[in-house]
Each structure stands twice: as C-alpha cells, then as structure tokens.
C-alpha cells in the first residue's frame, strides 16, 4: 500500500532502527550473541535490588499502586516526581529551577523528537531552521527524528592525540559558523558514541554563543549529571533559561520504564507539555513512581556516585587492557573514555568500510555499531566516518573480552595482518 511522506520518512530503515532490531535479535536468539552494540545499560545487582525494593514497596501500598496504574498523570508528568527533581537540582547542583521548569516524556528519544521539530524546520514566515551539532560524531538516535528535510548541520572536530593510541575530540570553534538558519545547538555530554565529556570551557562557550544568537543550547545528559553521573573526569553541570537539559532514567538501569526528564525555560516546558497531550495524552507513570522516593531522599545520588559510576569506570579500565592486548600490530586509536559506557575505536586507512566490518562481525555473532551512522548533518565526505566503530562495554567481562578478541581478528584480517 502507499504511505504518506511522513510514513516514508519515519518508517524507512534507519541506523537507530537497525541498532534496536539487532538488540532484539540478540536478546531472543537461542545462540549466544556477543552484544557489544546497542545502548543497554548493565545489570548491576546492587542497583537492581534497589529498584526491586521500590517495586515491592509500591505493590504493598495499595493506594499508591492503584493510583500509579489507574490514573493518567498530567501532560507535564507526575507532580510528586517533578517536585522531588526540583529539590534535588537545587540542592545538588545549585540550579534556580521551579516545578514549571520540568516536564517528563516517554523516554528521552521522544523529548528530542519534540524539541528538534520545535526549533528546526519551516517557520511561519517561511524561514527554514536547522539543529547544529558542534561536534560530530554524535548520537545515532538524532539522525531520523526530523519531520523536515535537511534538518541538521554538523561540525568536524579537532582531534588531539594524547599518546600513540589515545585521542580526544574537541569542538573546533574557529570552524563553526552559527548563521541565521540555526534554530538550536545540541550536544550530548558524555557524548554518545565516543565517551567524550565536553570540557566546562566548551560548554560555557556554547552557552554564550546560544545566548548571543537567541537560540537554545540543548544538552543531552542521559549518561551525565546529576544521575547516573557516569563521568570519569571533572565536569560541572550548568543550567540557565536558555539551556535545555535532557535526562533519563534509562542509564540508571530502567530503560524499559521509558522516562525522560526535560529541564528548560517555562515557555519551552509549556509547549512540550501540550505536545505530550497530543502525542500520548500523558507520560507513563511507573518510572516516576519507582524512583520518586530515591530522588527525594538523595539516595539516587549516592547510588550513582558509589555504585554506578565506579562499576562502569572499572569496566572501562578492563576493556582498554583488552584493546591494547588484542590490537597489537594494528594502527589503532581509541577515544579516551571519559564517561558513558562506550569505546570508540578508530582504524586509520582501514581497507574496508566500518559497515563491512560490522557485517563480518555480525556473521561471527558479535554485534557492534558501525561509525558512519553517527554523523547527522555532516555534509562533506570524510574518510574518518568509515574507519570507526562503537563498542558497548557494559556486558560481563567474559563477553567483552571474547568480543574484543574477535573484533581484533577481523580488523587484522582486513589489514592483511597474520
């Protein structure tokens, strides 16, 4: 049957669609698949025990349980949850926020669909605006959420080599041009896919530029502050009325709860709430119900600081050891892991594309994500895009070790190294 332009755009094959389909296959396949793709967080027993206790408490409280599953929340989200978030942001980060500055969405992906199409696309006067990504590579999930053509523009990064194998991306401010066609600036911090944490100076300069051009700065903090705070380097979280912070419960360990949190100016929150009502009547209630007490007490910060961050930081250390062991003899580079739970591997002058490498690994039962998907809005062809892959190291140590060994074998085969 024929479908509309909307159907052709949104239902076509996409990078995020392929990633999620691979994840589903990996979880349902009877054969062991080494799942080093996707963005699923680890199963951390201490964290899952906390959520299990929250669920038991909710089930035992008949009044609260019935309210959670039997009533719609307001379009802005659960009031008690929002009030708890506001108190935490004031107490922990010193932000001057009110309940009117916070709204929930059905996952942060929904939040970005709303925000990108609010600030980019065709305006009433016929002007067309775009979302600027100051540093590519950027999150794969941004690529296909636009309702208009040519919605994104991106800047290539500066590459600073730390040593023979470690490097770090930085924003090339000299090469960045904020024209009248830019409707908003967006960054993820920590960055998905690279584990990069933009410096405080970089975030401060982006904030100044956004204010100077009267556009919002959108910061995707799904892995960042205040929780789950999977950041291994010094960083400060900033917020003002011109900044939109997007958080999530997913990387805490609740991806199925589909709970996104947006902190923004009152006018943005009001628009987002109205769109919530149109798109889904109201955000889901279960995620908010599970963690409200944890947020109110501050235990969510303790959990993030003392359990979640050290867990992933140790995994980052271990996976780097495997990389340096397995890739001996290969000209490889790895982005310095500063946060999140991804490793970004770069193989200069790789004789095959990263998509071909992905296919070879998939045939061997190893799932990664080819790097070329992470460049929404980058117009010029750049060989670097086809030389990188993203690896999720949140799985158990044996799975990650076996996966890195097979990746190294396929990379060496591509280079002709025996």
CA 233, distance to chain mean position in Å, is 18
Place of tokens 């999530």: 248
Tokens found for residue 175: 């090469």
Q: What contacts 61, CB < 8 A, 6 or more positions away?
A: none
Q: pLDDT at position 379, please? A: 87
| Domains along the sequence of the chain with CATH | 5-47+302-415 (3.90.1150.10), 73-301 (3.40.640.10)
Exposed e or buried b for every residue in 366-380, given b needs 16+ CB within 10 A? bbbbbbbbbbbbbee
Give CA–CA dist 219/190, Å, rounded. Answer: 10
Contact call for residues 334 and 415 (beta carbons, < 8 A): no
- Res 8: pLDDT: 74
pTM: 0.93
Radius of gyration of the chain (CA): 21
For position 15, what pLDDT does the model report? 53
**For position 17, what pLDDT does the model report?**
57
pLDDT at 30: 43
CB 107 within 8 Å of CB 250: yes
Per-residue pLDDT of the chain (418 residues; tens, 9 = 90+): 776 677 677 676 555 555 556 655 555 554 688 999 988 999 999 999 999 999 999 999 889 999 999 999 999 999 999 999 999 999 999 999 999 999 999 999 999 999 999 999 999 999 999 999 999 999 999 988 888 888 999 999 999 999 999 999 999 999 998 999 999 999 999 999 999 999 999 999 999 999 999 999 999 999 999 999 999 999 999 999 899 999 999 999 999 999 999 999 999 999 999 999 999 999 999 999 999 999 999 999 999 999 999 999 999 999 999 999 999 999 999 999 999 999 999 999 999 999 999 999 999 999 999 999 999 999 888 999 999 999 999 999 999 999 999 999 999 999 998 7
Give the separation between CA 250 and CA 80, rounded to whole angstroms.
19
CA dist., res. 286 & res. 374, Å (int): 31
Separation in Å, CA 169 to CA 55, 159, 162, 337 = 41, 5, 11, 11
Residue 417: its pLDDT value, please? 87
């Amino acid at each position: 049957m024929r479908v509309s332009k909307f159907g052709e755009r949104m239902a076509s094959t996409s990078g995020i669609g392929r990633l999620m389909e691979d994840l589903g296959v990996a979880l349902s396949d009877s054969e062991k698949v080494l799942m080093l793709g996707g963005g699923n967080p680890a199963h951390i027993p201490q964290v899952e025990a906390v959520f299990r206790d929250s669920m038991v408490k909710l089930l035992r409280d008949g009044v609260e349980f019935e309210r959670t599953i039997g009533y719609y929340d307001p379009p802005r989200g659960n009031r008690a949850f929002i009030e708890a978030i506001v108190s935490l942001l004031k107490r922990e980060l010193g932000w001057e926020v009110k309940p009117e500055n916070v709204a929930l969405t059905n996952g942060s992906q929904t939040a970005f669909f709303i925000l990108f199409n609010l600030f980019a696309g065709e305006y009433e006067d016929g002007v067309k605006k775009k979302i600027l990504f100051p540093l590519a590579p950027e999150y794969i999930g941004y690529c296909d959420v636009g309702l208009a053509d040519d919605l994104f523009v991106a800047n290539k990064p500066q590459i600073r080599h730390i040593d023979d194998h470690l490097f770090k991306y930085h924003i090339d401010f000299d090469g960045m041009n904020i024209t009248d066609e830019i409707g908003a600036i967006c960054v993820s911090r920590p960055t998905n896919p690279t584990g990069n944490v933009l410096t405080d100076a970089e975030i401060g300069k982006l904030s100044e530029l956004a204010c100077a051009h009267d556009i919002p700065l959108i910061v995707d903090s799904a892995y960042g502050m205040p929780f789950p705070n999977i950041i291994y380097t010094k960083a400060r979280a900033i917020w003002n009325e011109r900044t939109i912070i997007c958080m999530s419960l997913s990387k805490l360990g609740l991806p199925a709860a589909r709970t996104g949190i947006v902190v923004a100016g009152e006018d943005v929150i009001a628009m987002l709430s109205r769109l919530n009502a149109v798109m889904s009547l109201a955000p889901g209630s279960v995620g908010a119900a599970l963690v409200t007490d944890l947020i109110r007490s501050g235990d969510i910060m303790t959990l993030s600081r003392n359990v979640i961050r050290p867990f992933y930081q140790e995994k980052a250390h271990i996976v780097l050891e495997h990389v340096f062991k397995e890739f001996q003899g290969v000209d490889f580079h790895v982005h310095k892991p500063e946060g999140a739970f991804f490793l970004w591997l770069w193989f200069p002058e790789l004789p095959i594309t990263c998509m071909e490498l992905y296919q070879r690994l998939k045939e061997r039962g190893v799932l990664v994500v080819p790097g070329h998907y992470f460049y929404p809005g980058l117009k010029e062809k750049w060989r670097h895009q086809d030389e990188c892959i993203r690896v999720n190291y949140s799985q158990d140590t044996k799975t990650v070790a076996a996966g890195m060994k097979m990746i190294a074998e396929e990379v060496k085969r591509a280079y002709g190294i025996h």
